[in-house]
Amino acid sequence: MRVGLLEDDVAIQEMLLLVLQDEGYEVVNFPGADACLVALGITVPQQDPVTVDLMIIDWRLNESMNGTDVIQQIRSQAHLQQLPIILTTAAAFSDTEALQDLHVSFMEKPFSVDDMIALIKQLTHS
């Protein structure tokens, strides 16, 4: 199974990369929101876009868009509307209604890696 990772905190990114790979997942690490949307074939059509079975997206990205903006772009694509997505953040996040509308699971930082793996397994039925 291939997991897409969009996380701008290098320490968390590296930790998730190691844990997910140790669990047997192939991880596609996206360096930023724009690169993620291009690689998935959303903002620039690709002949062979990157495919993932689940996305982990940080809400606060050090870019012009946040994780919710990225998710909205992903959900605008018919073939990605059912893609399991986990939104992570250490910030206070109160707009849980928006998450329900986007069909997103939420995980507050700091989270345990066991909880993250359990959620991934739940969302992917693996």
**Which residue, 48, 45, 44, 62, is CA-closest to 6?**
62
Query: Which pair of structure tokens corresponds to residue 21?
Result: 């790979």
Three-class secondary structure of residue 29 per DSSP: strand
Residue type, 81: Q
Contact assessment for residue 29 and residue 2, using Cβ atoms and an 8 Å cutoff: no
Task: Give the C-alpha separation, 52 to 95, whole Å.
Answer: 26
The DSSP line for 77-109 is SGGGTT--EEEEESS----HHHHHHTT-EEEES
CATH topology assigned to domain 2-91+103-124: Rossmann fold (3.40.50)
pLDDT digits (tens, 9 = 90+) for 7-57: 999 999 999 999 999 999 999 999 999 999 999 999 988 899 999 999 999
Region of poorest pLDDT, from 18-27, 61-70, 71-80, 108-117: 61-70
Rounded Cα distance between 103 and 20, Å, is 22
Q: What does the pLDDT look like over 85-98, one tens digit per residue?
A: 999 988 776 666 66
| Intra-chain end-to-end CA distance of the chain, in Å | 9
